[in-house]
Amino acid sequence: MKLIQKLGSVRTMRWVQTISACLFTIVLAWLPMVGSRTVVPEQTTAEYRNARVGVAYVGDETCRECHEPQYNDFKKTGMGRSLSIPGPRNWSEFSCHAGLSRPILGTRNRYLVPPFRFLAVGCERCHGPGELHVRERRENAPLGGTIDFSIVNPARLPRHLRDDVCKQCHLLGDAQVLRRSKTYLDFRPGTPLDNVVSIFSAPVTANVDLIKALSHPEQLEMSRCSIESNGRLGCITCHDPHVQLRGAEAAAYFRRKCLTCHTLESCSFPATRRQSTTLPDDCIQCHMPKRAVSNLGHSALTDHRILRIPSQSPQVADVTRESPDDLIYHTKPSREPDAAPDLRTLALAYYEVSQLYPTFRQKGFVLLEQAARELPDDADIQAAYGLVLILARPQAPSEASRALQKAIDFGSRSVEVLTRLARLRLREGKTESAIHLYNEAIETDPYYTPAYLGLAYLYTVTEDRQDAIETLERVLKYEPGNETARKAIADAKAGTKE
């Protein structure tokens, strides 16, 4: 099945200095009792067995057999309705907005039929695969203790693993670097997110009037509440993902959450001032107001920096950075505070971040050169290095060609790599090689317009105008408004008449 996509993947969009963000942002959470403060002991000594590879997903309807009240409440939330009707989005968005997508590995924007095993985000996104739990509970298998380790309970996870459950969808960062041979679908609750994907942000000066979509955990880390709690404060301290409250009910609920740590005397405003807010005595309205979103148009989201004075500038997260050009490593293993990302991860992170913030390009290029030397068989490293060389050393295109060819030889199926290398091959006079690369890119992603335009240009310069016209007409079949293709067709037809 092919799902039309014009925008490209999250990583590709970062390469062209555009930030991709999910269309919906749902507040995550996990307290089982609405309006009460439930303290659940943190479990640190045993592994949840359903986090292991090989345990299958069973779907929400199976969970419903025993947990119908939670099921019914959850299906009314934004997460529970996250993808009721599928739309043309990319893989990483599907992994957050769908229960379980089914991409065709080695392709871009192509999916099996049906494209989803489970449509909306469901129970197993946070609890992990349910096969083992369902089987043991149906068989009345003994628990072996007070905790059922056949299914993840995020409230009992160590803090860093607890927060990773939320971060898998709600922390975009400025760079996401997948581990070798991993996909976003490999993450399982109860395991470190960094085992699958490392997430980084640039330490840019915070703008008090703007926030980024999908940055709730990053914002929370900046808050004084989080800093002084020494990490105990997490998403599910205040939020329950099973329910979504609104209006006065939500204001009262979150006010009670604030008062579990603060007191009425903590607020310096007089009672008359507090009662004058739209919802009386609403802590959130003053300290967590809606802010404009810098990377998502026409949107406003709740500011999770929890500013005491709304106009103040918050601290930048991760004060352990040694220099201003160090990235913030959000998925750093908590038990290793001095842990640094490996060379591959760091080089690719700087490569992505430098597309948004040019000040990181120099350090990023040094890291990428080192990684390219030390990791000659890493497809992602060679791809990034080759793409950077095209811009950094335009006078030496053969270097870029060698790196991009290495990337392909070691398994890269990036349509940008294929298309860029095709252009270089055309410059070298290797027409047949360029045609093959363009066609391979189109086969990988039938909706990647640059590959069609490049192939059409090749046909034009080789005087094969009819093939050029036919190639451009393929673009108009899925993107009728593409003015570049229309103009090129008109030019090619005019050249044919001459």
252-274 pLDDT, tens digit per residue, is 999 999 999 998 888 888 888 88
Q: Could you say which of 302, 322, 356 is where a domain stops? A: 302
Q: Is residue 4 part of a domain?
A: no
Q: Give yes or no: residues 297 and 367 share one domain.
A: no
Q: Give yes or no: residues 298 and 347 share one domain.
A: no
How is residue 170 written in tokens?
Answer: 């709600």
Question: What would the mean pLDDT of 344-362 be, rounded to a whole number?
Answer: 95
**Residue 64 phi, psi dihedral angles, 5° rounding:** -60, -25
Distance (Å, whole) CA 132 – CA 55 = 7
Q: Give yes or no: residues 286 and 394 share one domain.
A: no
Flag the least confident range among 284-288, 378-382, 442-446, 449-453: 284-288
354: domain CATH number is: 1.25.40.10
Nearest to 236 by CA among 172, 316, 152: 152
Q: Give yes or no: residues 405 and 287 share one domain.
A: no
With tokens 């089987």, the residue in question is 135
Per-residue pLDDT at 40 exceeds 80: no
Q: Is residue 5 part of a domain?
A: no
Distance (Å, whole) CA 59 – CA 61 = 6
Q: Could you say which of 285, 302, 319 is where a domain stops? A: 302
Q: How many CB atoms lie within 10 A of CB 194?
A: 23
Number of structural domains in the chain: 2
Three-state secondary structure readout of 169-208: HHECCCEEEECCCCCHHHCCCCCCHHHCEEEEECCCCCCC
Nearest to 450 by CA among 1, 15, 91, 114: 15
Q: Give yes or no: residues 182 and 105 share one domain.
A: yes
Strand partners, 215: 171
Phi-psi region of 315 (alpha: psi -120 to 50; beta: other; left: phi over 0): beta
Q: Is residue 22 part of a domain?
A: yes
With tokens 């709730």, the residue in question is 216
How is residue 49 written in tokens?
Answer: 């067995």
Q: Is residue 313 part of a domain?
A: no
Per-residue pLDDT at 405 exceeds 90: yes
pLDDT at 209: 64
Question: What would the mean pLDDT of 48-66 be, rounded to a whole number?
Answer: 94
Distance (Å, whole) CA 65 – CA 45 = 30
> Over the chain, what is the mean pLDDT?
83
For 120, half-sphere exposure in the C-beta direction (CA atoms, 13 angstrom radius) is 18
C-beta separation of 389 from 420 below 8 A: no
Q: Is residue 314 part of a domain?
A: no
Per-residue pLDDT at 59 exceeds 80: yes
**Residue 114 phi, psi dihedral angles, 5° rounding:** -75, 160
pLDDT at 30: 31
C-beta separation of 65 from 270 below 8 A: no
pLDDT at 108: 75
Q: Output the furthest CA–CA distance in the chain (Å, rounded).
A: 85
Distance (Å, whole) CA 146 – CA 156 = 12
Q: Give yes or no: residues 273 and 379 share one domain.
A: no
Question: What would the mean pLDDT of 341-345 be, rounded to a whole number?
Answer: 96
Q: Give yes or no: residues 287 and 366 share one domain.
A: no
Per-residue pLDDT at 69 exceeds 60: yes
pLDDT band per the 50, 70, 90 thresholds, residue 95: low
Q: Could you say which of 251, 277, 302 is where a domain stops? A: 302
Tens-place pLDDT, residues 118-134? 778 899 999 999 999 99
Q: Give yes or no: residues 244 and 132 share one domain.
A: yes
Distance (Å, whole) CA 140 – CA 184 = 34
Per-residue pLDDT at 360 exceeds 50: yes
Q: Give yes or no: residues 394 and 265 share one domain.
A: no
Q: How many CB atoms lie within 10 A of CB 195?
A: 15
What are the b/e assignments for 119-148, b being 16+ CB within 10 Å? bbbbbbbbbbbbbbbbebbeeeeeeeeeeb
Max avg pLDDT among 16-30, 317-331, 344-358: 344-358
Q: Give yes or no: residues 485 and 395 share one domain.
A: yes
Q: Is residue 137 part of a domain?
A: yes
Q: Is 390 helix (H, G, I), strand (E, B) or coil?
A: helix
Q: Is residue 317 part of a domain?
A: no
With tokens 């950094």, the residue in question is 392
Q: How many helices (H) and strands (E) does the chain have?
A: 22, 8
For residues 57 and 316, the model is more confident at 57
Q: Give yes or no: residues 374 and 250 share one domain.
A: no
Vertex 333, ends 50 and 367: CA angle to 5°?
A: 125
Q: How many CB atoms lie within 10 A of CB 406?
A: 20
C-beta separation of 19 from 210 below 8 A: no
Q: Give yes or no: residues 176 and 260 share one domain.
A: yes
C-beta separation of 36 from 244 below 8 A: no
End-to-end CA distance of the chain: 42
Per-residue pLDDT at 28 exceeds 80: no
Distance (Å, whole) CA 203 – CA 216 = 16
Q: Is residue 199 part of a domain?
A: yes
Which domain does 421 fall in, by range?
343-497
Strand partners, 93: none
Q: How far is CA 36 from the centre of its chain?
A: 32
